[in-house]
Structure 1
């Protein structure tokens, strides 16, 4: 019984990444094929950021920006504490593992937070979902500019082969920022269609990452990545990922107490402040580093991404059980969720009105302008809730 249960909990996207890395190792794209895959990846990433821009509700961000203390703490965790922890870890392991992997560890600490999974875990843990939507979205908006600047300041030729290329900032602007802004400004025209077809984002998101990973590892294989790596390096990466995640989670927990945040906002700080985005990190690495370096650079991020999902899934479920046991969330929605443990859709309210009612029962007010953004994530949250019951893990 243990084996099938474990298989259900394995992240399907992790399996796809392993398959793609294996394929790139056995059949790397070379010559014209490599150029074609690179172009396909660029197009998919531009389309992905265009759709993310079209999906983002400006009203939701404006309405949620009022919780300045929470957003300031979340952004400081993402763009100040994470990089400081990364610098400390890099200083400690310099000379012990491959220099490109060291740069990859530092690179992952400079990335923006995730959006979908941060919101999903916040909802599962009975946190302030509206604030999570705003914090995670704001983190990703700033990340398009802040991350390349931090990479330029903190990663240089002394820590990785050819090192950071400032020309990559221009690539970020053209490939990520411009499509994002174009999609966002076209939201009044296409926003309703995008919201009605939000399931398209999942395949495009994963497909673009898989294309970039295949292209990156093809170049890395030609450059001898597997001759330069061994099992000890992978063990180092797993240990360093655990250390970084534990340090940042300790900070977010302590900062929430010192700042006197409500429990619901503390949950937002914990999950939005401790996550790093694979969806943003892979294309950024492709734009900021030489092709032969990208495989090594994103490997620590791929490991950290899976670790954060498993840890946050466990924490979110544990926090939800504590809240329910303490009677802090005695809403009908929670009662339905407990009674219908085999039905994922019962755990997450559907529709703007149902969401607002469930939030009000927990003492949380969702501003009208934020409701569309929160409602747009309900399908994803239901999926994550189902996975938390043993049907899989969030992506």
Structure 2
């Protein structure tokens, strides 16, 4: 059972196959131009669906817990970027400069929505607050991520990194479709909710297409001549360090701040996660032809966070309703 939890999920395997396919058959020339148009459309569809799936009722139900949301946002948009910058002397020893830029970009991303809510529910956390916090993080990230990229990523790059001017591109490609989906939810909401499996396929298919185009461009630029096995191992180690630090800080900080057990679960899962869907789409807009190089840390972090949080959520969810979440490193079946 534990081994099954540590195995890559089907979507991650699909992304791996996409990277292999892009390596063997990258799109070039006129085909690349056509695929870039398709990618722009896929990004718009992706964020339209995100907006259409977002329940206003669930947001309102969890919106009053502003202290919890502040803690999640601080972890997502303050703690992570600070960790990425502060760990530069350590991270630089493990990864190449362009991979480190990918790590910094990872640190600026919003929290993921679906898995944060799912793990919070599994671990008996505050689900309405998780819905509100993760959804708000995704929306705010449309504006805040490019701003953070300009502030911290551009300081470590010699070129190819977007500035604040890309906020306009982000608004057109991400925010406008998101708002359109949200505005149309009263009309198409029931249809959307009744076809979650179909929409999941469309959602994941859009990401697969974006990854294919991004890695095709990276292959054409010679990514596999720049990337070694030791570099891949290094980025895995870096991602594990980042996730471990985020989990430790959110665990102990939420206890120190006096949050209830349910709220602490929500803070830990929403505050330690990063959205691969938003990350891949934003990387395509922000970094253009360099996106394939940048999203590799994001893709690896996605799988690491899924494996780790799946184990934690199952263990914490096994406690009885009357049993408190205990504090201390000795009991790994309880929240530290």
Q: TM-score, normalised by structure 1?
A: 0.78
What residue in structure 1 maps to residue 327 of structure 2?
none
Q: Per-residue deviation at 1:199?
A: 2.3
- Cα-to-partner distance string for 1:282-334 (whole Å, 9 max, x where unaligned): 0000000031x11110000111110000000010111122x13x7549xxxxx
Indicate conservation of the 8 Å contact 1:90/1:106, yes or no. no
Instruction: Tell me the C-alpha RMSD between the 2 structures.
Output: 2.0
Could you tell me which runs of 5 or more consecutive residues in structure 1 were left unpaired when the two chains were aligned: 330-395
Report runs of 4+ in structure 1 exceeding 6 Å deviation.
none
Residue 81 in 1 paired to residue 66 in 2? Answer: no
What residue in structure 2 maps to residue 159 of structure 1?
157
Indicate conservation of the 8 Å contact 1:99/1:160, yes or no. no
CA distance change for structure 1 residues 299 and 160 in 2, over 3 Å: closer, same or farther?
Answer: farther
Deviates more, 1:300-309 or 1:47-56: 47-56
Number of aligned positions between the proteins: 324
Q: Per-residue deviation at 1:95?
A: 6.6
Q: TM-score, normalised by structure 2?
A: 0.91
Indicate conservation of the 8 Å contact 1:165/1:289, yes or no. no
Instruction: Give the distance between the partners of 1:186 and 1:327, measured in 2 at CA.
Output: 42
Secondary structure at 1:260's aligned position in 2? coil
Instruction: Give the distance between the partners of 2:158 and 2:14, measured in 1 at CA.
Output: 28
Residue 133 in 1 paired to residue 136 in 2? Answer: no
Indicate conservation of the 8 Å contact 1:100/1:160, yes or no. no
Q: Per-residue deviation at 1:160?
A: 5.3
Within-5 A mapping of 1:247-262? 247-262=245-260
Residue 285 in 1 paired to residue 266 in 2? Answer: no
- Cα-to-partner distance string for 1:147-199 (whole Å, 9 max, x where unaligned): 11111111116425422244432221111100001111122222222122222
Instruction: Give the distance between the partners of 2:107 and 2:267, measured in 1 at CA.
Output: 16
What residue in structure 1 maps to residue 218 of structure 2?
220
What residue in structure 2 maps to residue 311 of structure 1?
308
1:14 counterpart (12, 15, 18): 12
Q: Per-residue deviation at 1:9?
A: 3.7
Deviates more, 1:86-95 or 1:76-85: 86-95
Within-5 A mapping of 1:184-333? 184-291=182-289, 293-321=290-318, 323-324=319-320, 327-328=322-323
Indicate conservation of the 8 Å contact 2:95/2:235, yes or no. no
Instruction: Give the distance between the partners of 2:114 and 2:91, measured in 1 at CA.
Output: 32
Give the number of the structure whose alpha-carbon radius of gyration is greater.
1
Instruction: Give the distance between the partners of 2:265 and 2:155, measured in 1 at CA.
Output: 39
Instruction: Give the distance between the partners of 2:217 and 2:297, measured in 1 at CA.
Output: 17
Instruction: Give the distance between the partners of 2:315 and 2:118, measured in 1 at CA.
Output: 14
What residue in structure 2 maps to residue 365 of structure 1?
none
Q: Per-residue deviation at 1:19?
A: 0.7
Q: Per-residue deviation at 1:64?
A: 1.6
Instruction: Give the distance between the partners of 1:75 and 1:122, measured in 2 at CA.
Output: 16
Instruction: Give the distance between the partners of 2:308 and 2:103, measured in 1 at CA.
Output: 18
Deviates more, 1:30-39 or 1:89-98: 89-98
What residue in structure 2 maps to residue 99 of structure 1?
97
